[in-house]
Amino acid sequence: MAAAAAVSGAKRSLREELKQRLRAMSAEERLRQSRLLTQKVIAHSQYQKSKRISIFLSMHDEIETEELIKDIFQRGKTCFIPQYQSQSSHMDMVKLASPEEISLLPKTSWNIHQPAEGEVREEALSTGGLDLIFMPGLGFDKHGNRLGRGKGYYDAYLKRCLRQQEVKPYTLALAFKEQISLQFPVDENDMKVDEVLYEDSSAS
């Protein structure tokens, strides 16, 4: 147990440090890196061949995903977005009808648009799974380790994907370079991401 407590303590202090780094970024710099990453994604072979894609609706300290969502629809791909349950670590990925629909969705306590908790929509895993999941996070290292916000939504969802679909979805993290660290403390519940995209990452 001592090791687990040490990991969670290390994660807590890292989260604080990463939040400070993100707060120090200017809006212009966040936008510049977001645009650059949007271009990287559009040129990415995994994105091009994926038909069913899950993507997060960004908070102010995350890579802006609005342009990517528009591109997903322009290419005729199917788009799924998170529907978090605030009382647990359960999350579904539910179908989005159009980019325009986002601004009409209610906002959560984190100030993110999402379908209301009771609203029933098509869930990705019940209709054929996902090819690609864009992963948010507070920080990432170059080995694909991810530091989330502590709720465990994505780790639990990825485990469901592994149980319910034959081919594991490709996981692609979108990060500001300020969110990249050398190495993170991890425990057995943490799921690695396949690839972390940031300004200086080399194309895979």
Protein fold of 2-197: Rossmann fold (3.40.50)
pTM over 0.85: yes
Q: What is the pLDDT of residue 63?
A: 96
All residue ranges of the chain with pLDDT < 50 are 204
162 assigned binding-site residue: no
How far apart CA 103 and CA 99 sit, in angstroms, is 8
**Positive or negative torsion for Cα 151, 154, 155, 160:** positive
160 assigned binding-site residue: no
14 assigned binding-site residue: yes
129 assigned binding-site residue: no
pLDDT tens by residue, 14-62: 899 999 999 999 999 999 999 999 999 999 999 999 999 999 999 889 9
CA dihedral of residues 44, 47, 48, 53 (deg, nearest 10): -170
Neighbours of 158 (CB within 10 A): 19
22 assigned binding-site residue: no
62 assigned binding-site residue: yes
Q: What is the pLDDT of residue 152?
A: 87
128 assigned binding-site residue: no
Q: What is the pLDDT of residue 121?
A: 93
110, amino acid identity: W
34 assigned binding-site residue: no
